[in-house]
Structures are given as C-alpha cells and as structure tokens.
Amino acid sequence: MLKSEYLQRVYSQVVTRDPDQREFHQAVLEVLESLDLIVDKHPEYEQHGIIEAFVEPERMISFRVPWMDDEGHVHINRGYRIQFSSAIGPYKGGLRFHPTVNLSILKFLGFEQILKNSLTGLPMGGAKGGADFDPKGRSDDEVMRFCQSFMTELNRHIGQFVDVPAGDIGVGAREIGFLFGQYRRIRGSYDAGVLTGKGLAFGGSLARTEATGYGLCYLTEEMLKCMKGDSLAGKTVVISGSGNVAIFATEKAMQLGAKVVALSDSNGYIHDPHGIRLDVVKDIKLGHRGRIKEYAERVPGSVYHEGFRGIWTIPCDVALPCATQNEIDGDMAQTIVKNGCMAVAEGANMPCRPEAIRVFQDAGLLFAPAKAANAGGVATSGLEMSQNSMRFSWTFEEVDSKLKTIMTNIFHNIYDASVECGVPGDLVVGANIAGFLKVAGVMLAQGLI
C-alpha cells in the first residue's frame, strides 16, 4: 500500500485513465512502491509533475497493418509503437510480434524499458512496439510481406536520433532484416543505426544474440559473489524458455560451471538430470524452429512434460525465468523456495508476479528484477548503435567484455541504491530508484513537465 498521498493520486489516475491495462498497472505500482521510500525527500517531483509525466508515454502510435498470405488472402493486424521517454536519449526498445500484443503489455514493457536503459549508463530513452501478428507457422515470404507493411507505417516515426527499435518475442534476425530492408528502400538512405539486432553483414554487432542470456548470468554471478560469497560453479540451474535468452543463459551458466537441467517452451518442458545438451537444443530451436519435446525423443534419460509452468517443480539452486511475463505466481514461488532455491534472476520481462517476489524476499532468497538482470540485450544494442556511428565493428571478445562490465556495474549500482534507501539487498527497490533518479534528474534539468 502506498504511503505517499502524492503517489496514491498518481496511481489512481493511471488506473482511472486505463482501467483495463492490468500489466501496466502492475509495473507502475511496483515502481511507485519503491519511490515511496524517497518521494518525501524530493518535493520538487510533485511541484513539477515529474512522476505524472514519468508514467505517461510521450507518444502512442497505433496503425493497421494489411498484408497478403501465400494463398492471396488479405489479413489486417494492428501495429503499435509506444514512445515512452526520450529524456536521456533517443527512444530505444524492442518490437514484439505475438497474438497477445496489446496496449497494456506494450506500455508495461515500455515503462520498464525507461528504467532498464537508464541502468545501463548508456544514452537511451525507453520505448516498445509490435503487432498482434504471429510469425509462427508463416512462410518467409508471408513474414516478409508483413514486415514490409509494418515498416511502411513505422518508418515515419523512427530514426537513429529519434527512435531505435530492436527485436523481441517473434522478432529475430529474419524479421529485423526485412524491416531494415524496407526502411532503406523507403527512406533512400543507409541509416544502419535505425534498428539494432541486424545481421553482421549490414551493421549488426557480434555478441548481440548472446547478450541478454550472457548478461543475465554475469549479473547473477556478481550477485552471488557479493551477497553470498558464492558463484554459479557447481549449482543446479532451471531456466524457463528456449529462445535466445534461455539458450544463451544456458550456454553462459555452463561456462561458469553450473549444470542446467531444464528448459521449456509454450507447450511444455524437458528435464535432463544429467545436464542439458545445448547442441541438441540449438539444433531444435535455432536450426529448424522445432518444439522442445523433440529433445526427449533425441536424448536418453531426459523427460518431457506437458504444461510449461510445471518446470518450477524441479528442485534447483538458481532459477532463471526466461519465458514470458507473470509465469511464476505466489504458489509456484512457494514451491521454488521449498525445493531449496537460493537465487532467482529474471531473464524475461516481469516473469514473477508481485506476490511471488514477496515470497522470495520473505524467504531470504536473492532476487534480481528484470529491469536490471536482463538489461544485457539493450546494453549491447546500445553498443551496436555506437559501432554504427563509428562505421566500425568490435570483436566478439571486446563486446562481451564491455557487456560484462556494464552488468557488473548495474549490480553494484542497484545494490548501493538499496543500501542508501535503508533496505540493503532489496534489488527491486534498488533498481527502481537507481534507474528513476537519473531520469528524473534529467527531466528537471531539461524542464520536462
């Protein structure tokens, strides 16, 4: 419950204006609960309407996306771009193509992106976008036609100094390539910095594909080291999901000495008590876009179970939820605690419900929120923008080293902020406050009201 009357008014206004946007309400409330600890010390926030401006997007764009399938039938989807904050840099955030995409989800993601980008230390604002289009089961030609139609409208709202989209769920290297090609044709200019996550041959960065999963493990390792005097070495790890984040979190966790025993997709999960064979997972998911159940058919001793949420019944030392929002509720969090888990770090965006986070914190588990733990992807997108501006490419090792430094600094910034606020070790509070203070200070300096 919010103590500040000012924050109560702000939250009430958010809910009243958009009563059906539950995901957005959840994200805003979590941040306001953290700001409750400092808002009385900053009367200038209320005087200048800083928090009211902070929770309201600067611009919301929606548009129809007509496209033709391979049989000649025309389909109409809905596209969006939520440009939330440009206080510290051009809007920056991914595009998501998935049937569940709506304003509430994109506003929650864009709002989180402001803080995440702030924590990286790079000059990037916050945004998110996408469409309720499902690329699964569609041919390359159908996806190309959709992306071209989508970019035909989006191009007028973006630019390397205005708004720089990237990929997200349903938007990978294939989609980014089609989007960039259409942007280049329409604009008649080779502005490589307008999109990140591009192919290496046309301005992409080495280590970008691996960045979110690698960064998640770098921050988790630093959290274990500094708060427990421990490491990932020898730990049993469960990772939900089997996309890029989960796959490369698995790869880095294994490199750091952990044993990953489970992965999932939207249908179910696999459990391999001997340790996941990453080559098989990569072949299934990156090679031919298959389903995770194929793993059990190919690896003796592993088992496939229907229902992806059941993955959290598997005992582990470290849990890395990398699938989707709100996948862990309070009851499942209790199960994770009872099974002896010591640390949870969010690889997906908001995969733990608020009641789950409280369960983890009350039980004394280490918990790293998504806006800090999965910031490696956007951090490396920022590094890609830098390389594009320089017309230069760093080696994989150089990018990976910069990524590790950024993630290590993020951990220490959010931990130090938690200490300064009187809640040492509460990294949710630390991330919210550390990210907000930078943006709020710039808003005041620029006169943004």
Strand, coil or helix: 350: coil
Between the alpha carbon of residue 421 and those of residues 366, 384, 415, the distances in Å are 18, 34, 10
> How many Å apart are CA 196 and CA 375, to the nearest integer?
15
Measured CA to CA, the distance from residue 152 to residue 66 in angstroms comes to: 10
Tokens 């990018």 correspond to 399
Told to judge if 128 belongs to the known catalytic residues of this protein, a careful annotator would answer: yes
Q: Which of 107, 116, 128, 285 is catalytic?
A: 128
Q: Tell me how many helices (H) and strands (E) the chain has.
A: 17, 12
Contact 382, 120 (CB under 8 A): yes
Burial class (CB in 10 A: 0-12, 13-18, 19+), 408: middle
**DSSP string for residues in 117-180:** HHHHTSS--EEEEEES---TT--HHHHHHHHHHHHHHHGGG-BTTTEEEE-BTTB-HHHHHHHH
Tokens of 23: 């995901």
Distance CA 283, CA 96 (A): 24
Distance (Å, whole) CA 190 – CA 183: 9
| Cα-based distances in Å from 235 to 1, 35, 129, 328, 413 | 36, 34, 37, 21, 26
Locus of tokens 């908001």: 350
CA 388 to chain centre: 23
Long-range contacts of 257-261 (CB under 8 A, 24+ apart): 257/231, 257/232, 257/233, 258/232, 258/233, 258/234, 258/318, 259/234, 259/235, 261/236, 261/237, 261/314, 261/316
Active site residues: 128
